[in-house]
Structure 1
Amino acid sequence: MASIVGFNDEAGYHKNFTLSITKALGDQLAAALDGLDRARLCEDNIKELEDKAGVYQLYLDGEFVYVGKADKSLPSRLRNHLRKISGRREISLKDMTFSCLYVAEDFSALAPEQLLITHHKEMGNIPWNNNGFGNKDPGRQRDSTVLKRNHFDVLFPIDLDRPIEGLTPGEIALHDLLETVKSGLPYNFRFLKSPDFKHQQVFVPAAEMTADEVFKVISAEIPDNWQIAALMGYVIMYDDSPMSYKSAWRYYRAGEPLDAVPEAGPEGAVEGDQLGVES
C-alpha cells in the first residue's frame, strides 16, 4: 500500500524520469550494422547498392574506423571515399571494407550517424571520425595549419605518383590544363585563377602522366613569383613564392621539385572535423 506523505516528510512522491530513446536507437543501429557482412570498398560492390539515404561504417584491415551518413545517396557517398582513399599513400583499397543500412526519410531527421557516433564513443574510440577524414577543402585560412600527428592527412598523405585522369597530349591553354588536373585527381587541387592563363599555351607531352610530372610542367610555365605546394592532404598553387607552409612536403618552383619536412603537432581531436558530412 502506498504511504501518505506529510508536509514535514521527505518528498518521495516526485522525481525525474529519463527515457533514453536516442541511446536505444543508437544501440539498435550499431547492432544492425554489426550483424551485416562486410564488402570490399570497390566499384563492383558499390554499384549493387540502392540509391537511397543511409548510414555506413568503414573498416581498415577489419578494424572499425569510421561511421558516416549519406543524406541522399549511399553509393555516391561511398564513391567519394573510394576516390579519396585511392589517392593516398600508406593505405590500400584492398584493405578497406564497409557495411551500410538504408534509412527512411523520416528517420534521417534523428541524425542516425550521430546516434552511432555516441554509441561507439561509449564503447571506445572511432579513429577517423575525429582525425579529419570527413573534411572537405579547409580553405585558404587553414593552409598554414600544423596538423596533429593522428590527422588522416598525416597518416595517409596524398600520392603525387598517382596518374592524372583525362589528360590529352599536345598544346593546351594553361587554364584548361589546371582544370583538367583539378578534376583528374582524387584529392583537391586549389589554385588562384589568372586571366593570363586562358591565353598561355602549355605543351603536355603524354596522356599518361603522374601528378608529380604534370606539376613540374605547370611550374615551369607560371611566373617566378608563383609556386605549387603539395601539402599533406591537398595541393595549392598561388603567387606567393617562396612562402613556406607548415604541412608542405614538396614544392614546385620554376619546373623543379623541392622536398620539405612537414611539421606535425601532438595527437588529439582535429578542430573543425565534419562528421559524416555529405560531399
Structure 2
Amino acid sequence: MDDSDPHHFTFDLDAGIRAQLVEHLETTPKLALEKGVGPLESGLYAIFLDGDLVYIGKATKTFTKSGRTLRARLGEHVGKLSARTGGDLSRFQVTYATFDSDWWVVAGEVALIRHLSPPWNDSGFGSKTPGVGRPGTNRVSDFDRLFPPPSDDD
C-alpha cells in the first residue's frame, strides 16, 4: 500500500476499541469486589487495588471452554483473593463492561492489556499458576509478592 496516495485510508481498529473502552471503564462506577458481583453475561473487567489498576480480564460464554460469565469469573478471583488476604477484600474494586458480541470481549481485552499494561497481567494472577510453580520458571509474580501463598506449614 502506498501511504502517499491521498485516497488511501488505514483504519486502526485497535485504537478505536482502546479509546472507547478506556473512556467507558473510567466513567463506569467501581464496585466492591465481592461474591455475586457482575452479571450473568460475557464481558471485560478491570480489578483495582487501592484505586490502582492491577488486572484486566475477560469472561466469555462462547469463546472459552469454561463458558464462564462475569459473575462466575469474578467469583473465582474473590475466592483466590480471599484466601490470600484472610477474607479482607476492602482494598479491591472492580468495574466491567458487557458487549453485544463475545468477539468484542476478546478484542477489547487484548487492546486494553497492550495499552494499559496492568502489572498482574504481565506477572501472573489469572487462571494460570502464578510465579513459583509455573512450569519452567522460579520467578515470583507481583501478585505473589504482595499476597504470598500459604506455606505448607500453615
TM-score normalised according to structure 1 size: 0.45
Tell me whether 1:152 sits opposite 2:148 in the alignment. Answer: no
Question: In the superposition, relative to structure 1, how do residues 156 and 90 fare at CA in structure 2: closer, same or farther (>3 Å)?
Answer: farther
Instruction: State yes or no: 1:60 paired with 2:49.
Output: yes
Looking at secondary structure, tell me which structure has more strand per residue.
1
Q: Which runs of 5+ in 2 are unaligned?
A: 62-68
1:1-279 equivalences under 5 Å are 14=5, 17-44=9-36, 46=37, 49-72=38-61, 73-89=69-85, 92-105=88-101, 107-108=103-104, 111-121=107-117, 126-137=118-129, 142=134, 145-148=137-140, 150-159=141-150, 230=152, 250=153
Identical pairs, percent:
32
**For 1:53 and 1:106, how far apart are their aligned partners in 2?**
7
Contact 2:119 2:142 in 1 (8 A): no
Encode CA deviations 1:125-168: one digit per residue, 9 max, x unaligned: x1111111114247xx84684224x53223211236xxxxxxxx
Letter in 1 for 2:116: H
Deviation at 1:91, TM superposition (A): 8.8
Q: Which has the higher contact order (CA 8 A, sep 6+)?
A: 2
1:26 is aligned with what amino acid? R
Q: Which runs of 5+ in 1 are unaligned?
A: 1-10, 161-229, 231-249, 251-256, 258-279
Distance in structure 1 (CA, Å) of the matches to 2:134 and 2:35: 32
Deviation digits for residues 33-74 of structure 1, max 9, x if unmatched? 110111111125x1xx32100001001011111111101200
The secondary structure found in structure 2 opposite 1:100 is: strand
Query: Is contact 1:27–1:119 with CA below 8 Å preserved after alignment?
Result: no
| C-alpha deviation, 1:25, in angstroms | 1.1
TM-score, structure 2 normalization: 0.77
SS state at 1:94 partner: coil
CA-based RMSD = 3.0
More helix by share: 2
